[in-house]
Chain A
Amino acid sequence: MALVLTGTVVTFDEDHRVLDPGVVYVGDDGRLAAVRSAAQDAPAGFASAPRVDTGALILPGLIDLHNHLTYNTLPLWEAAGVPYPHHDRWVDEDRPPDYSTTVTWPAKVLAQAAPEALIKYVEVKALIGGTTSIQGAPVATRPVDGWLLRIIDNERLPAGRDMVMTAALQLDAEELREVRAPKLDGTRLLIYHVAEGRAGSIVRREFEELEPCWRPGLIGVHGTALTGADFARWQDAVRAINPAERATLVWSPFSNYWLYHESTDVVAADRKGLRIALGSDWAPSGTKHVLGELKVADAVNQHRLGGRFSDRELCDMVTANPGDALATAWGPQVGRLARGSAADLLVLARHAPDADPYRNLIDATERHVRLVLVRGRPFYGTPALMTAAGATHTDPITVAGLRRRVAVRQPDRADAQLDWPGVRRALERVRADPVAAWRAAQDALASWGGPLDDPDAPLVLFGDMPEGDVGAFAAAGEVPSGLVIPPLDTLTHDAAFLAAVARAGVPELRHLAERYP
């Protein structure tokens, strides 16, 4: 449906224009037909399109370039052994709350017993923070694609082909050299976890193994153990192939500080010319969504980095920068508002009228998100804006004490029939009796001897993170009898979340509470 949105348009285009007042014209094809000043004429075909006066900021939808969706119904994991030296160590944490009981098993059971509900819950959680594209699709028996958000790993923009390779677990050097590197031909992406650990730790060698992939299209996640010299080599290698390209690094400061009490040297990376994007990482060690992560980045920037990054540059990390990185594979921009861009939009209250739009975005909380559109369709927002934008099949949802509506069910898709209450019910049913739910799921899987792309085939999700010690049960298709699945992670950075952060006592994270009064 064509749609016209008016407000203060923060374009994030090449000139970072702010059109106040501005107008965004959303075409039937889910792309932006035009982004103009209010003084300009409308493009052809929009004379009768519904017009929504938002009275707010209109921005590109936020992009979360690092996540692991399977785990995002879980609360923060308050692991006993922090700070860990690197990513291979917390996997083997067997002191309570141990890794496999606290993280692996609950996620595994929910993913197999209620896969659709799980994904929709975490999508809604991300939408509430203004996210429209998110990385970290589970490994699945068929691609989880296009329910609410754009799932970066599975997105088939523009030509109907999946152009994004991802790996949260490290690949073998030979595989990187001989299989993945040749595919980085300027049209495909590889989003790859690399050197996640404290400076000087052994995981830095992963970066050396990745050398054949230091090409345009590589998006490195974490890089916490990397130095300025490493960033320089990476950037030089990319530029040697295409001088117009930049290496892309994904920064997840909350997760880094939570697990390692250190984070990526983003100042060095920026000095060497790398493009920096943000990712909120998974719920056991991350923020609720990338809008929360932006506040962590801002606090670190102010208190640890001497304000190296401007407000606009920080905001680029959740819009233009990841959008540019994804444009290598996708063509249509998702992080800048311009004619032809994807109609992924965030409408945000201008809650601090005296501050510029970028500071407004950084300081915004869930309370300030007014409307979120993905592919030009409204999925979340205030009741008034959702109605004005033509949303259908919506359900009420309370977010930070405010009334909102969310469109979860898609009547036109046989595999997307759950509504928001149905999502919660399905997950709570599994929580109530995980063993029975698991067995029922295993029975359903055992009954299916058909192709996996059949619409009636059971959807099964597998976590993309290491499992730790799951003992004899996992391979046997069994589940520990006393398994407890924790309450569903709340949708906002609420008092319980901030209390857990306070208990951790990590100085770099304590400022987050100041942003959620």
Chain B
Amino acid sequence: MSRAVGQPTRALPDSVGLAEFLRRVEADPLPLAGRYQLVSAARVLLDELYVHLPLKRAMHATDPVQRLRLLERRLAPLSELQFHAELADVFRALRDLHTVYQLPAPYRGHVATLGFLVERYTDAEGAAHHIVSKIDRSLVHAGFDVGAELESWNGVPIERAVERNAAAQAGSHLDARLARGLESLTLRPLRTAPPPDELEVLLAYRTRGGRRRETRVPWRVCAAERYAGRAQDPVPTLGTSLGIDVGSETARQVKRGLFAPAQARRSPPRSPRGVLAHRTLRLGGRSYGYLRLFSFNVPGARSFAEQVAQIAARAPAAGLIVDVRGNPGGHVPAAESALQVLSERPVAPVSFSLSTTRGALTLARAHADFRTWTSSIRAAVETGEMYSQGFPLTDPQALTTGLPRYAGPKVLITDALSYSAADIFAAGFQDNALGPVLGTARRTGAGGANVWTHELLRVWLPELLGDLPRGAGFRVALRRATRARGNVDVPLEDLGVQADALHDLTRRDVTEHNQDLLAAALALLD
């Protein structure tokens, strides 16, 4: 017997339908000249400055530069959406969330969302379950609410739907792609990927009470980030020491806007309240600290380290759980300075290398910050090295002078969405022996680079990089990160940080504030 298909009775607030958004897009397509500008700029950027190009060519058997040459030859017949999809796909195939094509206006500053989130856990038998973990109250209907379990997605069994969606993600290993596949089921930043193909999604689900139902939920488009009335990226255009997945940061901020408690929503996303939280946990008569680092997307290293040091100084001496799950990265020196105030000993920071191309050399000669990298890039003509010598971006000890250090035992919780500066934080945690790393996935997100925008690079390389149309952009991994101490020279890109212990999320974790996960972490502290 077929079931009646429901649908939400109200639309997501402050949003427009996807069809309406697409009509606006197609009414004013990017001119052909703009397409040529973008493809040409992408080619120069990847060929001359993308530090992981040799690695990606080898590891993923992809040649993005050749793909761009081919794309350049057949630009005219492509539709607006086909063009953006093709160009975005060249970057997606790099499996590098740092290095992305950023679509122009009107995609910039917008996300497509279904208005709810899905999380995944495995039961005692190893079977995967996909639960609605957050939902905008306007969409609750017919038992479709937090705790509902999804069974199929547009007629495809949910497990397979997640896998298919994961395959379309840029994460550098399977865990990372699966995590992103899950997140992007319901949330798609349009700045870094074209809009969903379907206007609505047909879902089969079980209510918390166990009743089977179907519903259609429409994709809606809402503004992700605005500043002074203008669409913005959630990450600074001008940051020189960033390691971040912009797409995930956008998703984080949108999730925060949609689902965080009203009080939390009031603080700006990059303020201390927007990027970290802390509380005290009690177990077996003892107290432990819990420090949640949502993001390292902060303005400066010192002020962030001061915040972390203050929290750590008040944390119980029995131990501190540091949780960087879902942290998309951010300001690398801020991450390393935070690490330093959690360690009594000097922390050895990760090192960064540039590629040894002519473009990298021109940049190094033009920009005083790259002075130390110049000679080894120059020498590459004779040495044949693909990468320059590696140097730290900064000295965390110098940046945290005078701040207290937390001396108690620590454990770090990671997942496959802990990316870039969070990868670097986790690597530092492990390499400097701050404590065990407990993963909800085997590895962190595996983004090992310092990323720059095309616009910022253009300030220094005006002869190499030209204008881009309508606020389109690129972000590129410019310096690759390699680990320190016992893992010296081991790259983070594509490898990430292997967890010392693994915890599969349970239903209690998904629906009851990570209770089993925190218990597992505390067990490692004792």
Contact = CB atoms under 8 A, between A and B. Distances in A.
Interface of A: 139-141, 165, 167, 169-172, 174-175, 179-180, 183, 439, 442-443, 445-452, 454, 456-458, 460, 462-463, 465-467, 471-478
Interface in B385-410: 393-396, 398-399
A447 B227 contact: yes
Contacts, number: 136
A175 B362 contact: yes
Contacts of B463: 165, 179-180, 183
Contacts of A443: 299-300
Given A446-B239, A446-B300, A476-B333, 11 more contacts: A171-B366, A172-B361, A439-B299, A448-B227, A449-B235, A452-B237, A458-B238, A475-B241, A478-B302, A478-B333, A478-B399
Main secondary structure of the interface of A (DSSP, over half): loop
Contacts of B236: 445-449
Q: For the complex of A and B, list the 4 residue pairs with the smallest distance between their C-beta atoms, beginning with the closest.
A: A472-B395, A476-B333, A449-B233, A446-B299
Contacts of B227: 447-450
A439 B394 contact: no
B365 interface: yes
Given A445-B238, A473-B398, A450 B460 contact: no
A456 B229 CA distance: 10
B457 to A, nearest CB: 11
Of listed A179, A448, A450, residue having the most chain B CB within 10 A = A450
Contacts of A179: 362, 463-464
A182 to B, nearest CB: 11
Contacts of A174: 358, 361
A80 to B, nearest CB: 22
Contact of A169 (B299, B366, B473): B366
B299 A448 contact: no
A329 B333 CA distance: 44
A172 to B, nearest CB: 5
Interface string B347-367: 000000000001001100111
B393 A475 contact: yes
Contact of B358 (A172, A449, A460): A172
Interface of B: 225, 227-228, 230-241, 270, 298-303, 331, 333-334, 337, 358, 361-362, 365-369, 371, 378, 393-396, 398-399, 455-456, 459-460, 463-464, 471, 473
B296 to A, nearest CB: 12
A443 B234 CA distance: 13
B348 to A, nearest CB: 13
Nearest to B471: A451
Contacts of B334: 476
A116 B462 CA distance: 22
B302 to A, nearest CB: 5
22 contacts: A139-B366, A140-B459, A165-B463, A169-B368, A172-B361, A179-B362, A179-B463, A439-B300, A448-B227, A448-B236, A449-B225, A450-B237, A451-B471, A452-B455, A467-B368, A467-B369, A473-B399, A475-B241, A475-B369, A476-B241, A476-B333, A477-B331
B300 A442 contact: yes
Contact of A477 (B228, B300, B368): B300
Contacts of B331: 477
A442 B299 contact: yes
